[in-house]
Amino acid sequence: MGSCTAYHIAKHGKSVLLLEQFDFLHRRGSSHGESRTIRVTYPEDYYTRMMKEAYKLWEEAETEAGYMVYHRTGYLDFGPPDNQSLLSVISSLKKEGIAHQILSHKEVTLRFPTFRLPKDSLTVYTAEGGILRASKAVAMFQALAAKHGAVLRDRAKVLRVSPHWRLPGGADGILVATSRGSALGKACILAAGAWTPQIVRDISGMELPIKALHTSIAYWAVNKKMNPDALSPARGFPCFSSYGEPFIYGTPSIEYPGLIKVGAHFGVLCDPNKRSVSPDMETLKGHVSPWLASYFEGSVDWEAPNMAEGCMYSMTPDEDFILDHVQDQLAIGKSKILVAAGFSGHGFKMGPLVGRIMADLALTGSSQGVPLEMFSIERFSKDAQGNHKL
């Protein structure tokens, strides 16, 4: 999110400094690895609408970079016929006029013969979906930001953000002290993933309700008796989401031949500074293995993943993002410290749009027409009875 934001600010011709505590493209946060899924299918129509815009921005960045990070595979969403989220996905697609097909069990079996979906499954196919090459995409935005004049510094941990410093000329500025020196600027955008609450707490005393959850990226082998390409996009195999408990998502064999990526939208509480980067085999075997045994009966080796590593979610209570200003104790009106965090396991696909929104907020004070009420910090505040709204 930080790299996308730096790109959009630099593209406006403004000076911007992108800071990273570890090496660029490290594997200790949320955005590393071979892939993240991209889809328009969301139960909330505001995300479906935002995805229309995000797709354009992915394409624009790819064109500028001269290489691709999006691989279209098509997307299959399925689940019990009365699953409320899945019914809302279909209603969002209709409302936003996005082409989709509701497939019968027979049609699913004909088109995707390796899937063993329950007979009464509700299944919707959208052509506009697939994977984003995750680390490659982050590197692309860093390269584009640098091309437009951004200054990039890694191994520079932000230690303190202090508002109300005087800029040359007398205006109010923000001092950012890092392990490699300090910088003074007109605005500061915090996109520190699961580390964001710590930084915000230090600035304002405010507790952002973002939980760091340890989760895993896992690849499973296509069974040897199958053609290793059987679950590849070349054979029409799509990315997918299975609605229910747990929510399962997956990608075809695209990153590694003969392996598919399948994971559970689930994680265990962790401390971002102390967590191990090893995968959580207990969750994978407890949640994903039984699902694979049933939904890919005989075609995928479900007992244990062939390859896996840890990753981290930064989860809000409602799984909506936080895109807002941080109120510091002395600020009158909107502060120039902003936060983009709490992407709750589904934010990667929105990266370029989040970057554009944050750049617009910092440079103009407006999100240029993108509604942001559902992403406000205010939604976590207490109601008249003193209860937290969420």
Ligand X SMILES: Cc1cc2nc3c(=O)[nH]c(=O)nc-3n(C[C@H](O)[C@H](O)[C@H](O)COP(=O)(O)OP(=O)(O)OC[C@H]3O[C@@H](n4cnc5c(N)ncnc54)[C@H](O)[C@@H]3O)c2cc1C
Contact set with ligand X (CB under 6 A)? 1-2, 19-22, 29-31, 36-37, 157-158, 191-193, 195, 199, 215, 217, 263, 311-313, 341, 343, 345-349
Q: Which is nearer to ligand X, 50 or 86 (CB)?
A: 50
Gyration radius (Cα) of the chain, Å: 22
Closest approach, Cβ 291 to ligand X, in A, equals 16
DSSP-derived pairing of the beta strands 129-132 and 70-72: antiparallel
Closer by beta carbon to ligand X, 146 or else 226: 146
Exposure string over 188-208, b if 16+ CB within 10 A, otherwise e: bbbbbbbbbbebbeebbebeb
Instruction: List the helix and strand counts (H, then E) for the chain.
Output: 9, 20
Pairwise CA distance, residues 52 & 188, whole Å:
28
How far apart are alpha carbons 379 and 373 in whole angstroms? Answer: 8
Secondary element (H or E) of residue 60 = helix 45-65
Smallest gap from residue 73 Cβ to ligand X (A): 12
Note if the bond before 209 is cis, omega within 30 degrees: no
Shortest distance, position 244 Cβ to ligand X, whole Å:
17
Tell me how far, at minimum, the Cβ of 216 lies from ligand X, in Å: 6
- Shortest CB 278 distance to ligand X, Å: 13
Residues 201 and 207: beta-carbon distance below 8 Å: yes
Closest CA to 359 of 9, 54, 14: 9
Min dist CB 288 to ligand X, Å, is 12
Which residue lies nearer to ligand X by CB, 71 or 105?
Answer: 71
Nearer to ligand X, 20 or 328 (CB): 20
| Closest separation in Å from C-beta 296 to ligand X | 19
Name which of 195 and 295 has its Cβ closer to ligand X: 195
How many residues are given for the chain? Answer: 390
**Cα distances (angstroms) measured from residue 164 to each of 30, 168, 323, 330, 339:** 31, 13, 22, 8, 17
Q: Smallest gap, in angstroms, from Cβ of residue 43 to ligand X?
A: 15
The sheet carrying 337-341 orders its strands as: 188-190, 337-341, 322-325
Nearest CB to ligand X, comparing residues 183 and 231: 183
Nearer to ligand X (CB atom), residue 55 or residue 228: 55
Specify the pairing of strand 239-242 against strand 75-79. parallel
- Cα 11 from Cα 25, distance rounded (Å): 22
Closest CB 213 distance from ligand X, rounded Å? 8
CB of 25 or CB of 226, closer to ligand X: 25
Q: How many CB atoms lie within 10 A of CB 106?
A: 9
- Smallest separation (angstroms) from ligand X to the CB of 120: 27
Determine phi and psi for 322, rounding to 5 degrees: -120, 115
DSSP per position, 289-327:
HHHHHHHTTTTB--SS-SEEEEEEEEE-TTS--EEEEPP
In angstroms, what is the minimal distance from the CB of 23 to ligand X?
Answer: 9
| C-beta of 249 vs 302, nearer to ligand X | 249
Specify the residue, 34 or 45, whose C-beta has the smaller distance to ligand X. Answer: 34
Helix, strand, or coil here: 335? coil
Comparison of 273 and 368: residue with beta carbon closer to ligand X: 273
